Chain A
Amino acid sequence: MPDVDPVIARALRGVFDPCCRDKGISVVDMGLLHRAQVEDGVAHVDLLLTSGWCPFAARVLTDVEAAVAALPEVDTADVRVVWDEPWDASRLSEDARSKLRFMPAPAQVADREAFITSKLMRQEASR
């Protein structure tokens, strides 16, 4: 993430994606952080949402703004959502990827029917 100030990234590791709070996945690990720079005391933070229907967009913006504004070098925080670039799973950190990959990308599934059968059996076994 070349456009991300590491100080801001560090601060945002304590801000969780609300859908993933129970898994301890931060907005940074989710790959939501697109750009974050501080210029003359103003922090400019751009976020990507995993989905245009993200039900927590407002809360994420508020939490990110509060965390960034609390930094000593920041007077005010300008937090925005970027709409013209899609989020995709490649933005996940390794840690988040290991916790979240609910369904694999189709290209990683050699045999769809065999995959489904195997997953169903694992699900049954875990009950």
Chain B
Amino acid sequence: MIGDAFVFDGVAHPFNFEEGNAYGPPGQMFSNHLYAFHAALTPPTEPVMPSAEWLHKWSIDEIGEMIYDHSDTDMLVAMPLPLTDLFRDGLSPWQECARLAQRDPDRTILWGTVNPLEGKKALDDVTRQVEEYGAKAFKFYNVRYEDNGPVPWRMDDKQVAFPVFERIRDLGINLIGVHKGVPLGPQPIEYTQTWDMDGAAANFPDINFVIFHVGLPFIDETCWQLIRYPNLFASLAASLNFIVRAPRQFAEVLGKLLFWCGEDKIVYGSEAPLWQPQWALRAFWNFQIPDDMCAGYGYPQLTDQAKKKILGENLLRLHGMDVDATVTRLGRKPAHS
């Protein structure tokens, strides 16, 4: 916990940047973009790893230690990447995430992932990941890059997406995340925009959808969608990491979300090991929207109550977990400096 806030980290990836895992230049470009985020947004007071050191196969112990031993994080989502178009194992294979979840089974939750373009195989994989590995939610990526070209799909596609959502729902799961905004590598921007979330949210009102990265840079569009659909939520994962390098830019994003969507619809994610979680957690816990932005633009202030909801309580509720019972079950971890 940081202060008296329970911290539930919505995303960490055990990346495999091992040489040979990337399929040629598109995969290498994707890896290099990720490293650039690490180097560009890590604050000057924190260590930046050299690229040769950072671009390695991250073990589950490295991720677990980064999250639980070196930050105030109480729970974690082990989040796979299904980028089998760019990397031989998808970059962060779900099997490795299952191992990460098994490392700390009381604290780490597995989200599954499949490629809906694979049809029946995708449906079978959903079932397997839930029934055999205990996946509690799923995360999707709409853009794939195959045969030297983009192969996108949409979240409102009745043939591609809806059968997968139906299978997930049939298995008793009501939580789905999707990467939006922030295209990496040779991905077309159109399919990282959020337009297709209307159709997904409207057709599956009993499923809660989390728009990762708050759809940046399309924040106004994301806000208007979150206003209209009670089952849409926004994750600050990666967007939060502008908090030290560009605090006013972050304040503008957060101010818009707080005013239009409210503090109940925003969740936290560290994106470890892109960044060590603790500096961003500490910065967020101490963060205030600048007074001139509250006065001039009318943004609400970020209260302690809002921080607690964003850092953990909202994501606990999305997983159907009681906040007080979970805090009692796990106890208070000693705070880090």
Q: How far is the CB of A87 from chain B (nearest CB, A)?
A: 8
Which of A2-10, A49-57, A61-69 faces chain B? A49-57
Interface set, chain A 4-61, CB cutoff 8 A to B: 18-19, 50-56
Whole-angstrom CA separation of A6 from B268 in the bound complex = 44
Q: Which residue of A51, A52, A86, A105 contacts B297 across the interface (Cβ within 8 Å)?
A: A105
Contact residues in B for A54 (Cβ distance below 8 Å):
217
A112 with B259: CB separation less than 8 A: yes
B299 with A106: CB separation less than 8 A: yes
Q: How far is the CB of A98 from chain B (nearest CB, A)?
A: 15
Contact residues in B for A55 (Cβ distance below 8 Å):
181-183, 189, 192, 217
B298 with A51: CB separation less than 8 A: no
Q: Check if A126 is an interface residue, CB within 8 A of chain B.
A: no
Contact residues in B for A51 (Cβ distance below 8 Å):
216-217, 219, 249
Q: How far is the CB of A80 from chain B (nearest CB, A)?
A: 14
Q: Check if B248 is an interface residue, CB within 8 A of chain A.
A: yes
Whole-angstrom CA separation of A106 from B301 in the bound complex = 12
Contact residues in B for A105 (Cβ distance below 8 Å):
296-298
Contact residues in A for B40 (Cβ distance below 8 Å):
83
Contact residues in B for A56 (Cβ distance below 8 Å):
189
Q: Which residue of B217, B219, B224 contacts A19 across the interface (Cβ within 8 Å)?
A: B217
Residue of A52, A103, A109 contacting most chain B CB atoms (<10 Å)? A52
Whole-angstrom CA separation of A7 from B216 in the bound complex = 33
Interface set, chain A 76-127, CB cutoff 8 A to B: 83-84, 86-88, 102-103, 105-109, 112, 116, 119-120
Q: Which residue of A18, A103, A108 contacts B223 across the interface (Cβ within 8 Å)?
A: A103
B260 with A103: CB separation less than 8 A: yes
Residue of B nearest to A119 (CB): B224
Q: Which residue of A53, A87, A88, A102 contacts B224 across the interface (Cβ within 8 Å)?
A: A102
A106 with B259: CB separation less than 8 A: yes
Whole-angstrom CA separation of A119 from B248 in the bound complex = 28
A107 with B181: CB separation less than 8 A: no
B220 with A53: CB separation less than 8 A: no
A106 with B255: CB separation less than 8 A: yes
Which of B76-84, B98-106, B238-246, B312-320 faces chain A? B238-246
Whole-angstrom CA separation of A106 from B239 in the bound complex = 21
Contact residues in B for A116 (Cβ distance below 8 Å):
227
Contact residues in B for A53 (Cβ distance below 8 Å):
181-182, 213, 216-217, 238-239
A103 with B256: CB separation less than 8 A: yes
Contact residues in A for B223 (Cβ distance below 8 Å):
103
Whole-angstrom CA separation of A86 from B249 in the bound complex = 6
Whole-angstrom CA separation of A50 from B252 in the bound complex = 11
Q: Check if B228 is an interface residue, CB within 8 A of chain A.
A: yes
Q: Which residues of B contact A (CB under 8 A)?
A: 40-41, 181-183, 189, 192, 213, 216-217, 219-221, 223-224, 227-228, 238-239, 242, 245-246, 248-249, 252, 255-256, 259-260, 296-300
Task: Show 23 residue pairs from A and B whose CB-CB distance is below 8 angstroms, ordered by the A residue.
Answer: A19-B189, A50-B217, A51-B219, A52-B216, A52-B246, A53-B216, A53-B239, A55-B182, A55-B189, A55-B217, A83-B246, A86-B249, A103-B224, A105-B296, A105-B297, A105-B298, A106-B259, A106-B298, A106-B300, A109-B298, A112-B259, A112-B260, A116-B227
Q: A102-B220, A109-B298 are in contact. List 13 more A-B contacts (CB 8 A).
A: A18-B189, A19-B217, A51-B216, A53-B181, A53-B213, A53-B216, A55-B217, A84-B245, A103-B224, A105-B297, A106-B255, A106-B256, A107-B296
Q: Which 9 A-B pairs have the closest CB atoms?
A: A107-B298, A106-B298, A51-B217, A102-B220, A53-B216, A86-B249, A106-B259, A86-B248, A103-B220
Q: Which residues of A contact B (CB under 8 A)?
A: 18-19, 50-56, 83-84, 86-88, 102-103, 105-109, 112, 116, 119-120
